[in-house]
Amino acid sequence: MEYIYASLILNQIGSEITEEGIEKILTAAGAKVNKAQIKAVVASLEEVDINEVIKSAAFAAPSAAPAPEEKKEEKKEEKKEEKEEEKPEEVQGLGALFG
């Protein structure tokens, strides 16, 4: 993942994404450098317009985010209902003990 981050940094500052550039960033950050991975990242990003990828990804992510929140709310409501149902049973049990 750090190789992609280094590529994004180079892109952001307007530099060409090169093996040397990625290696310098990772070395400066104190990361362990794997030259084979750097070569693979540079090769895979040669014909990719990173700015276009970021723009297209920025619009896709927010539309998917609201769906899981609704499920969480439903689960919370179900748990509350279960707790409410359990309370009367507990009270009855205590009442039976003290008669």
Quote the CA–CA distance of 23 and 38 in Å, as a whole number: 7
- Centre a 10 Å sphere on the Cβ of residue 26 and count the other Cβ atoms it contains: 19
Q: pLDDT at position 54, please?
A: 85
Fold for 1-64, please state it: Arc Repressor Mutant, subunit A (1.10.10)
The per-residue pLDDT for range 47-61, each reduced to its tens digit, is 999 988 888 887 755
Ordered per-residue pLDDT tens for the chain, 99 residues = 999 999 999 999 999 999 999 999 999 999 999 999 999 999 999 999 998 888 888 775 555 555 555 566 666 666 666 666 555 555 555 555 555
Is 0.75 topped by the overall pTM?
Answer: no
Q: pLDDT at position 55, please?
A: 87
Question: Is residue 42 within 8 Å of 17, Cβ to Cβ?
Answer: yes
